[in-house]
Amino acid sequence: MVTRAGFTLSLDCEGLWGMADQPKVVNAGLICDASLAQAYGLISRLLDVNEIKATCAFVSAFAAGPEALLAHIPLLRELAFQSPAWFAQVLPAIEGGRTDGWFGVTFYAALRAAGHEMAWHGATHLSLADHTSADAVALELQLAARLFEALGHSPQTIVFPRNLVGHLDQLQRAGFQTYRAGPPAGFTGRLSGLINEWNVLDGRVQAKPYMQHGWHISPAGFFLNWPSGARSLVPIAVTVSRWKSLLRAAVEQGGYVHMWFHPHNLITAPAMQGAFEQIMKEVGHLVRSGDMVSLTMSEANAHFAHSNERGVN
């Protein structure tokens, strides 16, 4: 018996926290409260009308808001001492009351109220890769725990900042159970990804979620093309056709498709909005026809639990 095809959308929700080490982006004003509201509004509307559930991985500081964060400013300063380059833009902005683009309290509340899975994307978007010290990760977890109290929710699913996976033992001890794997790294991985964007007959069936060393692992998924720079050469029609092929292959083979992107990508490359709308319409059609089921990351683990298990401790 073929398992019904599954579709997962995971969103890296970070506002300006994701660009804290890019002063030109932080100071440009393009990513701001107004533009973020438009992007998140579009996402919420399309998910709702097409009956799609998403995993929304929020940076805790972005979700909790300025008052909650300022209540723990000593912890933020301690993190800044550990990683001064990352926080060079953060502390002056937050302590100076320049909050435009840094907080998404209303977006978090709306997506949570709509029933989407609320996951973790770090407390401040500081990398959680192994090159970050265990002490800094401990401070991230401490700040996150306090902000989770303010939010009234403690997630168990992680989307790693910058897709750099690390400190798994430490994070598992903190109560996390599921994470999204990182995509192929380096120039070769990026080049391969760009070449695949042109494959309108892409029929690859992605790996399904699996369990390893006590973790539920969601494969890296496919990034929804961000038409900026070299990626702007890929026509929107090509992107849509490719995703329709991926979805069709999943339906035919009882497979799995996982899409991810950052909501602010819809701001920095507005043409992406049209692609997202058309693809969500196609997913919605498949969901309503019964050919595909919309799954959050944690739900996908349960849906495919029988099909893939590796190295369970």
Indicate the residue type of 53: K
On whether residue 132 sits in a domain, the answer given is: yes
Domain range spanning residue 209? 5-303
Q: What is the mean pLDDT of residues 168-186?
A: 91
Q: pLDDT tens digit string along 288-310?
A: 999 999 999 999 988 887 555 44
Which tokens hold the place of 232?
Answer: 């702007």
- Per the prediction, the chain carries an average pLDDT of 91
pTM: 0.93
Q: pLDDT tens digit string along 43-52?
A: 999 999 999 9
Q: Give me the pLDDT at residue 196, please.
A: 81
Checking if the pLDDT of 53 tops 80, the result is yes
On whether residue 313 sits in a domain, the answer given is: no
Q: Is 23 helix (H, G, I), strand (E, B) or coil?
A: helix
On whether residue 310 sits in a domain, the answer given is: no
* Helices of type H across the chain: 23-28, 33-49, 60-64, 66-70, 73-82, 84-87, 90-95, 105-113, 134-151, 168-173, 186-196, 236-253, 265-268, 272-289, 297-303
When pLDDT is cut at 50, 70 and 90, the band that residue 60 belongs to is: very high
Q: What is the mean pLDDT of residues 1-23?
A: 90
On whether residue 172 sits in a domain, the answer given is: yes
Q: pLDDT tens digit string along 198-246?
A: 677 677 777 789 999 999 999 998 999 998 887 888 899 999 999 999 9
Q: Give me the pLDDT at residue 1, please.
A: 45
Q: Give me the pLDDT at residue 233, please.
A: 86
On whether residue 60 sits in a domain, the answer given is: yes
Angle at 182 (CA atoms; ends 242, 50), nearest 5 degrees: 45
Q: Give me the pLDDT at residue 190, please.
A: 64
Q: Give me the pLDDT at residue 186, please.
A: 59
Q: What is the mean pLDDT of residues 80-88?
A: 91
On whether residue 309 sits in a domain, the answer given is: no
On whether residue 72 sits in a domain, the answer given is: yes
Q: 162 burial class (0-12, 13-18, 19+ CB within 10 angstroms)?
A: middle
Which tokens hold the place of 104?
Answer: 């998404």
On whether residue 311 sits in a domain, the answer given is: no
CATH code, domain carrying 88: 3.20.20.370
The top-scoring range by mean pLDDT among 86-100, 145-159, 186-200 is: 145-159
Of 162, 73, 76, nearest to 121 by C-alpha is 162
The domain tally of the chain equals 1
Place of tokens 């929020």: 58
Q: Give me the pLDDT at residue 194, please.
A: 65
Q: Give me the pLDDT at residue 251, please.
A: 94
